[in-house]
Amino acid sequence: MKFLDEYRDGHAARQLAAAIKKATTRPWVLMEVCGGQTHSIVKFGIDDLLPPGVELVHGPGCPVCVTPLEMLDKAHAIARREDVIFCSFGDMLRVPGSNGDLLQIKSQGGDVRVVYSPLDAMQLAAKFPHKKVVFFAIGFETTAPANAMAVKLAHQRKLSNFFALVSHVLVPPAITAILKSPNNRVQGFLGPGHVCTVVGYEEYEPLAERFHVPIVVTGFEPLDLLEGILLCVRQLEVGTATVENPYSRVVQRIGNPAAKALIQDVFEVCDRKWRGIGEIPMSGYRLTEKYRAHDAERFFEVDMIQTVESAVCISGEILRGNRKPTDCPAFGKECTPRSPLGATMVSSEGACAAYHAYGRAEMLEIGVPQ
């Protein structure tokens, strides 16, 4: 299939893997930022093709994983209300809060619906004027433009029964937090291709310079990932630290100006809590004053809900790249996708869930080398 098969070609993959091996003279630790990249790496076994010196650690870029427990509890409180139609992306449905998940709320009579586009939720608000339609607006910069568009259109069409429960997070502050962490091991980044499609990579240039780390904007197919790794290793070997963009078939330096303007109109930067990590200053979006009437958190008065995370799981360490899922004693035992203990097991894009989905737990048990 066009635009797919050419980026999954086995021969080209082996050539890139050989080039990475040739380029590597010392051990390097790279982080892929995005959950979609983690998913592809594990699905295609990209790490099996790498020389032993090149270690991939999995970053915090899974929006479902890092949505704080507290926000889930707020979402669930709203979804339980009889006057509400609660709309969400599919993979938020199974994420447990303190007391069950959205699928359970649905089985108990809550009107919970999966939508593919926030605009579908906005249209539900028009169709059911006597209901309050709430969209769970999560995600990184990638989903922000569509979420912003839904709010903007609802506002224009005076749909006062449409609300967004906003839990947006941003990549650059998370990278900064990782690099500032005293026990940071990450030496180079595979930058988030889809995030950069929206916002560009200008913002990443000062980061590369300030912390002297190479950042390579990377896509999601096997050849994209291998090329990203190769360019990152080459920079590390020669000691440069710039932002490179081999994913130029999708990403431009300035991003998508129309999408950025939309985000700027609807959202403003604020402090955000990250599940497993804690609060990171200026690391998220909330609605601007102009659109505050559509803010579900304010309308439903769920601000007072405060929840403390479980201290058992090591997802915070995994999200910072300090530990691997298989380092956790609970991995695949007490903690599985059916009963996740923490951030990185809750979504299929989380590092622990990806490891579990592609059998790393079983591989571990029967002694196949990781």
Partner 1 sequence: MSATEGFSTCALPNNNPDCILLGHGSGGRLTSELIRHIFLPIFGGDELAKLEDQATLPAPSPGTRLAFTTDSFVVKPIFFRGGDIGRLAVCGTVNDLAVGGAIPKYLSVAFILEEGLAITDLTRIVKSMKLTCDEVGITIVTGDTKVVDRGKGDQIFITTTGIGEVPAGVNLSIHSAKPGDRILISGTIGDHGVAILSEREGLQFETELQSDVAPLHDLAQLIIRECPDVRCMRDPTRGGVSGVLHELSEASKVSVRLDEASLPFRDEVRAACEMLGLDPIYVANEGKLIAVVPATDAERVLTAVRSHPNGRNAAIIGEVRAERRGMVTIRSRIGTERIVPQLTGEQLPRIC
Instruction: Confirm if 346 and 64 have CB atoms less than 8 A apart.
Output: yes
Determine if 127 is a binding residue for partner 1 (CB under 8 A): no
Task: State how far the Cα of 157 lies from the Cα of 301, in Å rounded to an integer.
Answer: 24
Residues 27-66 that bind partner 1 (CB under 8 A): 35-36, 39, 42-46, 48-49, 63-64
Residue 89 or 291 with smaller CB distance to partner 1: 89
* CA-to-CA separations, 195 to 22, 33, 201, 214, in angstroms, rounded: 31, 10, 9, 17
Residue 308 or 366 with smaller CB distance to partner 1: 366
DSSP state string for 24-71: -SS-EEEEEEEHHHHHHHHHHTGGGGS-TTEEEEEEEE-HHHHS-HHH
Q: Which one of 108-116, 198-206, 240-248, 250-258 is the stretch in contact with partner 1 (CB under 8 A)?
A: 108-116
Q: Which of 97, 110, 139, 316 binds partner 1 (CB under 8 A)?
A: 139
| CA-wise closest residue to 313 among 325, 322, 301 | 325
Determine if 338 is a binding residue for partner 1 (CB under 8 A): yes
The count of residues interacting with partner 1 (CB under 8 A) is: 48
Pairing of strands 111-114, 267-274: unpaired
| CA-wise closest residue to 79 among 24, 42, 129, 131 | 131
Q: Say which residues have a Cβ less than 8 Å from residue 86's Cβ, sequence separation at least 6.
A: 75, 78, 79, 102, 105, 110, 111, 112, 113, 134, 136
| CA-wise closest residue to 94 among 369, 347, 349 | 347
Q: Which one of 21-29, 251-259, 310-318, 349-357 is the stretch in contact with partner 1 (CB under 8 A)?
A: 349-357
In angstroms, what is the minimal distance from the CB of 117 to partner 1? 9
Q: Which one of 1-9, 162-170, 237-245, 304-312 is the stretch in contact with partner 1 (CB under 8 A)?
A: 1-9
Determine if 4 is a binding residue for partner 1 (CB under 8 A): yes
Task: State how far the Cα of 238 lies from the Cα of 262, in Å rounded to an integer.
Answer: 40
Task: State how far the Cα of 231 lies from the Cα of 122, in Å rounded to an integer.
Answer: 42
Neighbour-count burial of 146, counting CB atoms closer than 10 A to its CB (0-12 exposed, 13-18 middle, 19+ buried): middle
Determine if 151 is a binding residue for partner 1 (CB under 8 A): no
Q: Which of 38, 142, 161, 235 binds partner 1 (CB under 8 A)?
A: 142
Lookup result for tokens 């249209």: 123
Q: Which of 6, 237, 334, 362 binds partner 1 (CB under 8 A)?
A: 362
Residues 180-199 that bind partner 1 (CB under 8 A): 194
In angstroms, what is the minimal distance from the CB of 34 to partner 1? 8
Q: Which of 32, 70, 91, 227 binds partner 1 (CB under 8 A)?
A: 91
In angstroms, what is the minimal distance from the CB of 36 to partner 1? 6
The amino acid occupying position 95 is V
In angstroms, what is the minimal distance from the CB of 147 to partner 1? 11
Determine if 10 is a binding residue for partner 1 (CB under 8 A): yes
Residues of this chain that bind partner 1 (CB under 8 A): 1, 4, 8-10, 13-14, 35-36, 39, 42-46, 48-49, 63-64, 89-94, 113-116, 120, 138-139, 142-143, 194, 222, 337-338, 347-349, 356-359, 362-363, 366
